[in-house]
Amino acid sequence: MKHLLNPLDFTVEETNRLLDLASDIEKHPDRYAHLCDGKKIATLFYEPSTRTRLSFEAAMMNLGGKALGFSDAANSSASKGETVEDTIRVVSCYADICAMRHPKEGAPYVASLFSRIPIINAGDGGHQHPTQTLADLLTIRSLQGRLDNFTIGFCGDLKFGRTVHSLINALTRYSNIKFILISPPELKVPDYVRDDVLQGFEYEEVTSLEEAMPKLDVLYMTRVQRERFFNEEEYIRMKDSYILDAEKMALAKDNTLVLHPLPRVNEIAPEVDNDPRASYFKQVQYAVYVRMALILTLLDLAPELN
């Protein structure tokens, strides 16, 4: 039985097969509408994340299955002190597959040790969020047509953003990708990303989004959170330089993709939403396709593609 706990749990071949399946689902949703008839997904969300939970439930329903679960630890037996181990043993009797979001890092791994059903890590603290990474890969591949030979810029909080670290990690497995890391000095990527992940790859660290814009094929925006700054003045000084607006978009190529893991606060001005290059809402749709493909794969229900 296979689980998905880390973005790199799947080999490049397995990942590509999953993305192929997701693309086929996008083209022929009707062929997949009943493959999970009678199946159930348990969404165990020990901390609220409406978007991710709904995405998993929608994915299962699109396949003909049903969803059950909780969206807050207060509504679960965890509030009575039940361990993850016991919870998953119980839930294994109710559902065929489980997506778990937990504030503590490694909780889905613990679940996988005791589970009789496949576990999908739907985010564990600041640790991993593999389905977001798969959704990002599918979005880039679908809208750009390839996962190699391009320049991607990551902008904003690169220090604490786990989606950024996971995506960089996943992209280093494809060839000829150049990374431009755009952030204030306080929010640069952690040393381990620079030393362990980016070592040997072409990358540069810059502070100006404007200067980077013309070089980018993909721009991955993230939120710059106020609480990450040492002082208020610094935040006010920095925050505007990392807000994407029409003026900055004018510097970009005609086909640059703008992605964002959402929710956004103010780092992308609403005026950008109507720009055809803004792809962050398409990213949400691709996330559903990739989760459908993942559910089918982990349940061994994926059809052979020609």
Partner 1 sequence: MLNISGIVNGVVLDHIQAGKSMQIYKYLGLDKLDCQIAIIKNVRSDKMGKKDIIKIECGIDTLNLDVLGYLDHNITINIISDGKVCDKIPLTLPKKITNVIRCKNPRCITSVEPHLPHIFHLTDPETELYRCAYCEEKYR
Binding site for partner 1 (CB under 8 A): 83-85, 102-107, 109-110, 124-127
DSSP-assigned states of every residue in 187-202 = GPPPHHIIIIISTTS-
- Nearer to partner 1 by Cβ, of 107 and 296: the residue is 107
Q: How many CA atoms lie within 13 A of 145 on its CB side?
A: 2
Catalytic option among 28, 34, 51, 146: 51
Residue 233, judged by CB atoms within 10 A of its CB (0-12, 13-18, 19+), counts as exposed
Closest approach, Cβ 130 to partner 1, in A, equals 13
Is 51 among the catalytic positions?
yes
Closest approach, Cβ 107 to partner 1, in A, equals 5
Is 101 among the catalytic positions?
yes
Closest approach, Cβ 104 to partner 1, in A, equals 4
d(CA 42, CA 26): 24
Catalytic option among 40, 101, 162, 239: 101
Closest approach, Cβ 272 to partner 1, in A, equals 34
CB 184 within 8 A of CB 225: no
Is 129 among the catalytic positions?
yes
Catalytic option among 15, 43, 52, 131: 52
Is 248 among the catalytic positions?
no
Q: What are phi and psi of 174, to 5 degrees?
A: -105, 165
d(CA 118, CA 289): 18
Closest approach, Cβ 214 to partner 1, in A, equals 37
DSSP-assigned states of every residue in 61-103 = HHTT-EEEEESSGGGSGGGGT--HHHHHHHHTTT-SEEEEEES
d(CA 247, CA 271): 10
- Nearer to partner 1 by Cβ, of 102 and 223: the residue is 102
- Nearer to partner 1 by Cβ, of 132 and 151: the residue is 132
Closest approach, Cβ 129 to partner 1, in A, equals 14
261 CB neighbour count, 10 Å cutoff: 24
- Nearer to partner 1 by Cβ, of 5 and 25: the residue is 5
Q: How far apart are the first and last CA of the chain?
A: 25
Sign of CA pseudo-dihedral 16, 17, 20, 25: negative
Catalytic option among 3, 39, 40, 129: 129
Is 80 among the catalytic positions?
yes
Tokens at residue 254, please? 């005609």
- Nearer to partner 1 by Cβ, of 13 and 191: the residue is 191
- Nearer to partner 1 by Cβ, of 120 and 249: the residue is 120
CB 141 within 8 A of CB 71: no
d(CA 296, CA 278): 29
* Catalytic site positions: 51-52, 80, 101, 129
